[in-house]
A and B are shown apart, each in its own frame.
Chain A
Amino acid sequence: RKEVEQDPGPFNVPEGATVAFNCTYSNSASQSFFWYRQDCRKEPKLLMSVYSSGNEDGRFTAQLNRASQYISLLIRDSKLSDSATYLCVVYNAGNMLTFGGGTRLMVKP
């Protein structure tokens, strides 16, 4: 079983739709969680950290469920520019980030 698992997608949604991605992690001792965004043939960029209480940044909402060991990302009112691969990232006690394989989102006009 992979340490961090994501549905690879693609998720094809129309503009304005709400879309949600989940990510599960296997290490219950994982300490921190992030969502990164990666555009095609570009480097990953931090989208947002994920806090235990859940957090929101504009149209983006991230939530963490430690009991079930999953993280979610919700995108409201999706834009064409949201099309990208979204990487779930987990920081473990071994002092390294473990990346999920990414979920590809395609927002259509």
Chain B
Amino acid sequence: GAGVSQSPSNKVTEKGKDVELRCDPISGHTALYWYRQSLGQGLEFLIYFQGNSAPDKSGLPSDRFSAERTGGSVSTLTIQRTQQEDSAVYLCASSLVQGSNQPQHFGDGTRLSIL
């Protein structure tokens, strides 16, 4: 399809395991964003990429979270040693370029549940 694609759509894992979430942005979109949304809460910004570069990593909740993007396309968000408070929907969005007037298009999200 032409939209933002995220995988897996659902992930259930045990506390302490590492997880890797994938985002495939809309073709040609240079900016990519990661957010998370806890149950009944608003969206929390995590990190964004312009190309392969992430200028601001301050939104990542802890050093257990990391993200990378290679080839200016697919991005992975990795959570190490998962904790129960990491349970949330992780949403990825992309925009044509990074800028104030650029709408972001969201993927369906990965629903992460930590047991």
**Residues of A at under 8 Å CB distance from B?**
31-32, 34, 42-46, 49, 87, 91, 94-102
> Given the interface contacts A44-B91, A45-B106, does A102 sit within 8 Å of B101 by beta carbon?
no
Q: How many A-B residue pairs have CB under 8 A?
A: 45
Q: Binding site of A, secondary structure by majority: helix, strand, loop or mixed? A: strand
Interface size of B by CB at 8 A reads 22
**Residues of B at under 8 Å CB distance from A?**
33, 35, 41-45, 48, 55-56, 59, 91, 98, 100-101, 103-109
> Given the interface contacts A43-B91, A43-B106, A43-B109, does A49 sit within 8 Å of B45 by beta carbon?
no
Q: Is the CB of A96 within 8 A of B48?
A: yes
Q: Is the CB of A49 within 8 A of B42?
A: no
Q: Is the CB of A97 within 8 A of B106?
A: no
Q: Is the CB of A44 within 8 A of B56?
A: no
Instruction: Tell me the minimal C-beta distance from B89 to chain A in angstroms.
Output: 8
CA distance A44 to B93 in the complex (A): 10
CA distance A98 to B56 in the complex (A): 14
Instruction: Tell me the minimal C-beta distance from B102 to chain A in angstroms.
Output: 9
**Smallest Cβ-Cβ distance to A85: which chain B residue:** B42
What are the residues of chain A within 8 A of B109 when measuring CB–CB?
43
Q: Is the CB of B45 within 8 A of A98?
A: yes
Q: Is the CB of A95 within 8 A of B43?
A: no
Choose among B33, B42, B103, B107 the residue with the greatest number of A CB atoms under 10 Å from its CB. B42
